[in-house]
Each structure stands twice: as C-alpha cells, then as structure tokens.
Amino acid sequence: MSADLTELYQQVILDHNRRPRNRGKLPTANRVAHGDNPTCGDQCSVYLRVVPDAPTTSDQPARIAEISFDGSGCAISQASASLMTTQVKGKTAEEVAALYKDFHHIVTTGQATEEISDLAAFAGVHAFPARIKCATLGWHATIEALKSDPLATPTTTETHLD
C-alpha cells in the first residue's frame, strides 16, 4: 500500500466508518438538510436541533444542541460526516463556518494546525482531489441546515438541495 493511501485511510477514519457516531434520524430536529454527490451517488442527511429556535439576538446566538446524520457513501464521506457531528455540537453557525474553513484548508492542502485535533486525520484527502467532495458532503449539509427555515414539525420535511 502506498504512503498516500495509508495517509488517506487513517485509523481515525476507518474507526468512524465502522462505528459511525450520531447516526440516524434525530426525532427532535428542527433543521434538516440533504446533500448529494451526483458523481458517485453518495447521500447525506443532517438533522439539527438548534437552540433557541426563534429568531436570535446578538447576545444569544443559536447553537447546535443536537446533531445526527444519515446516508450512504464511501468510507471517506461517512467517516467525515460522523466526525463532523462530534465537532460541531454546541457551536453557532459562525463557529461552524470557521471550523469548516479550517477543514476545507486541511483537505485541499494537507496542512493542519495543531488545535484542529481529529479533523487533521483528513489531511490525506488532498492527494486525492476526486475525494474532496466526499469529505465535505456532510459539512455542506450541516451548513445548509443551519441556513434553512425551521421545520414546522420536527423532522417531518426535508430540504432537498440537489
């Protein structure tokens, strides 16, 4: 196995692929978004419970209280979505956007700063440009879910972005 491939399929990634965290529908979700990777058919739905649900004020921005994901795809896309759910809980839309910017930097350049922790496991993706979309699929769905309108009844409708 080449060094690039070993770098791509890190132990952290294989672990999240085998034992995904926060997988399944979230019954209490008030935001949902769905991402498709049309070239390979990978799918990822992200369910969020955002608190507070009402329009936010500057001193109390909405945060992700709970998150789950569902879908099917390659090891990279599933592991990335799984790891992402563990990293964005408790964060505001702004904080998620900042974290995604770091993550995007990692997967496109292979360079990670120290404090990024587990996300750095995805540095190996940069050597496989065709796989960047796999790694970012769950992140895009989360960002879209944060932008989406609140659900009338939790998790009864989905926003299709394709």
Partner 1 sequence: MLDLQKIRADFPILHQQVNGKPLVYLDNGATSQKPRAVIDALVRYYERDNSNVHRGLHALSMRATDAYEGARARVAKFIHAADPAEIIFTRGTTESINLVARSWGHAHLKPGDVVLTTEIEHHSNLVPWQQAARASGATLKYVPVLGADAEGGLDLAALDTLLTPQVKLFAFTHISNTLGTVNPIAELCRRARAVGAVTVIDAAQSIGHAPFDVQSLGADFVAFSGHKMCGPTGIGVLYGRRALLDKLAPDETGGGMVSNVTYEGARWKPAPERFEAGTPNVADAIALGVACDYLDTVGRDKIAAHDAVLAQLAMEKLSTLPGIRLIGPRPGAERSGLVSFSFAEVHAHDIVTFADEDGLALRGGHHCNQPLMRKLGLTGTTRASFYLYNTEEEIDLLVASLRRTLKFFVGS
* Residues near partner 1 (CB under 8 A): 1-2, 4-5, 8-9, 14, 39-43, 72-78, 128, 131, 134
Indicate the helix (H) or strand (E) that contains 72.
strand 63-72
Nearer to partner 1, 31 or 133 (CB): 133
Backbone φ, ψ for residue 42 (5° rounding): -65, 140
Least Å distance between CB 61 and partner 1?
36
Least Å distance between CB 54 and partner 1?
38
Least Å distance between CB 8 and partner 1?
7
Nearer to partner 1, 77 or 85 (CB): 77
- CA–chain centroid gap for 16, Å, is 13
Q: Describe the crossing of helices 132-147 and 93-109 by its angle, rounded to 10 degrees.
A: 170
Nearer to partner 1, 65 or 75 (CB): 75
Indicate the helix (H) or strand (E) that contains 16.
helix 11-18
